[in-house]
Amino acid sequence: MNELERAGNGVNGQAVSKPKTLTSLEVYDQYGAMAYGIILQILPQVHLAQEVLVSVFSSPQLQSCNSYPFTFAACVIKLAREKAVEAKRKLTALVPAGAEYASGDTSPQSIFDLAFRQGFTPDEVAGKLNISKKEVLHSFHEFFKSYRNA
């Protein structure tokens, strides 16, 4: 069980639920550093990253995490990535970035980097690496499996 104590876990086949509603600041205190780390991985510019961090924890979408079927951590990870990728897209629209991936590298690490850090969708990653989307998704599983076993 995690810190949010998923009450009713698996009962009647229901997904996890949360016992209480957290405020933006409480969520920030718990996951702010993690979210900032994620944003910096996607958007290394410190000032932009801080702006994105504020937008994550000021976002009305954060309140929807209270009804998210998974933990706040998962919701924050999702939201932080989404906002950082959005900001990165705006930035790269102004200053086009070069290809930041090793062409032909289909390792789970590389695929994870492309999808999570570079902001490509699994379909785009599959197109770039000339592999199927199924393989891309399987690589995510392999990536976390190897992390778990490491």
Q: How would you class 37 by CB atoms within 10 Å of its CB: exposed for 0-12, middle for 13-18, buried for 19 or more?
A: exposed
Q: In Å, how far are 21, 28, 61, 85, 132 from 45, measured between CA atoms?
A: 32, 20, 24, 13, 33
Q: How far is the CB of 145 from another protein (least distance, A)?
A: 9
132 binds another protein (CB under 8 A): no
Of positions 18, 42, 65, 81, contacts another protein by CB under 8 A: 81
Applying CB under 8 A, the residues found at the interface with another protein are 1-2, 6, 9-10, 13-16, 23-25, 28-29, 32-34, 36-38, 40-41, 50, 53-54, 57-58, 69-71, 73-74, 77-79, 81-82, 115-116, 121-122, 134, 136-144, 147-148
